[in-house]
Amino acid sequence: MNRISWDQYFMAQSHLLALRSTCTRLAVGATIVREKRMIAGGYNGSITGGDHCIDTGCYVIEGHCVRTIHAEMNAILQCAKFGVPTEGAEIYVTHFPCLQCCKAIIQAGIRSVFYSADYKNHPYAVELFQQAGVKVRQVEHKQPDYSRNGEKDELLADLLNRLKELADDESELSELTKRADRLISGT
């Protein structure tokens, strides 16, 4: 079994965090990492105890939901709340950070930004990251296969081969093979 890379591991954590998002426009997750250890995580949502977009709708002003705190900001604030330093850390984000989050990331002393998907990549954010010497790199997010389908496919093929050896009824074997193929292909 091959292990996923550290980048894939931390990006998967950010995608998992995004599942907690209460934003109806875009679910984002962020994980702050130092020395290959997760030190904080965040997702975009409302302030603690506040109304959530999934419950009452977005509060949009000039094209932006002002109710939502971005995932990157929530992760940085979590570090501040619990006294965890961010200097020299890395952040893994499901989407390219907005301009405001870019500035917060730089000010927090985070040295590397890894993101999965482009999202309105602001040219000034790109420029600021470059000026501050923050390394920015896109990391492909590969959806992990938790189902162990490869092992299932192999077992099914072995069972069908054994059935071919033992089968008396060719039509029954043909029907079982068709059912197995549909199961494997997901149709």
pLDDT in tens, 122-166: 999 999 999 999 999 999 887 756 555 566 667 767 777 777 777
Closest by CA to 139, choosing from 38, 33, 8, is 8
Alpha-carbon distance of 56 to 65, in angstroms, equals 12
Q: Among all residues, which ones are annotated catalytic?
A: 72
Element (H, E) at 83: none
Global confidence as pTM: 0.77
